[in-house]
């Protein structure tokens, strides 16, 4: 059983990435509620149902379910994740099959005021995916069309399976939207476990 969160709620309708008939969900991301806090910040557990209860991490920060995406499938795991005080952030993910969605998938965050922000993307290679060595998954990430991660190899950078990896980069929003696009690289499918967007200090 694939589980999500410290309270361990099962992820419904899971499609495993190494399944030959992996399904996909299109347009399933309802927009986040536009209040003062969400206009300035996003904390999303990718692959967790939007209706799931919020999750409070070890720093007292509150994370919501999966919203604002366009396409993709979800995978859950109950692996013991190393290198983090919040393994619940790594127990679910969104990915897009490179054959079905050759352009990958994206998150579009609207209602964000212009200015500088910091994006943190959380990744792990869990046992739910057929990645057992460096070089078996490589993909790219763009922020508002600009490359921020190229040929990312989670396994290589994290040092193996079930090890948390956080990639941080600055972005400047000049309109009212931030688009994060995850595109296929030279191997396997793009994916992400959790997303943070916070105002730059």
Question: Residues 149-166: pLDDT tens digits?
Answer: 999 999 999 999 999 999
> Is the pLDDT reported for residue 71 higher than 50?
yes
Asked if the model's pLDDT at residue 184 lies above 60, the reply is: yes
Q: Is the pLDDT of residue 77 over 50?
A: yes
Q: For residue 148, what are the contacts with CB-CB under 8 A and spacing of at least 6?
A: 119, 141, 142, 169, 171
Q: Is the pLDDT reported for residue 196 higher than 70?
A: yes
Average pLDDT over residues 89-103: 98
- Model confidence at 46, pLDDT cuts 50, 70, 90, reads very high
Per-residue pLDDT tens over the stretch 4-25: 333 333 333 333 333 323 333 3
CB 125 within 8 A of CB 83: no
The larger pLDDT score, comparing residue 102 to residue 37, is at: 102
Check pLDDT > 70 for residue 78.
yes
C-alpha torsion sign, points 151, 154, 156, 158: positive
For residues 105-134, average pLDDT: 95
Provide the pLDDT for residue 201.
87
Domain residue ranges of the chain, discontinuous segments joined by +: 3-31+39-199
Residues 6+ apart with CB under 8 A from 123: 90, 152, 154, 158, 164, 165, 166, 167, 191, 192, 193
Split at pLDDT 50, 70, 90, the class of 41 is: confident
Mean pLDDT of the region 167-183: 95
Given this model, what pLDDT does residue 162 score?
98
Q: Give the other-Cβ count within 10 Å of 19's Cβ.
A: 13
Distance between CA 48 and CA 65 in Å, rounded?
A: 5
The whole-model pTM stands at 0.82
pLDDT of residue 83: 98
Q: CATH code for 3-31+39-199?
A: 2.60.120.430
With a pLDDT cut of 70, the percent of the chain lying above it is 80
102: pLDDT strictly greater than 90: yes
| Per-residue pLDDT at 126 exceeds 90 | yes
Q: What is the CA radius of gyration of the chain?
A: 15
**Residue 33 banded pLDDT, cuts 50, 70, 90:** very low
């Amino acid at each position: 059983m694939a589980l999500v969160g410290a309270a361990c709620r099962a992820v419904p309708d899971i499609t495993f990435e190494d399944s030959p008939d992996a399904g996909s969900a299109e347009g399933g991301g309802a927009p986040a509620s536009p209040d003062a806090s969400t206009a300035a910040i996003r904390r999303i557990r990718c692959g967790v149902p939007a209706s799931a209860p919020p999750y409070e991490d070890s720093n007292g920060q509150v994370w919501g379910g999966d919203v604002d995406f366009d396409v993709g499938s979800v995978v859950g795991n109950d692996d013991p994740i190393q290198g983090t005080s919040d393994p619940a952030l790594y127990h679910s993910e969104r990915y897009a099959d490179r054959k079905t969605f050759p352009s990958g998938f994206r998150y579009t965050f609207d209602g964000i005021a212009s200015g500088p922000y910091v994006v943190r993307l959380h990744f792990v290679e869990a046992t739910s995916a057929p990645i057992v060595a460096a070089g078996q998954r490589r993909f790219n990430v763009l922020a508002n069309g600009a490359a921020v991660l190229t040929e990312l190899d989670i396994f290589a950078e994290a040092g193996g399976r079930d090890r948390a990896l956080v990639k941080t980069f600055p972005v400047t929003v000049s309109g009212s939207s931030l688009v994060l696009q995850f595109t296929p690289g030279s191997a396997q499918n793009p994916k992400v476990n959790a997303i943070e967007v916070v105002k730059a200090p």
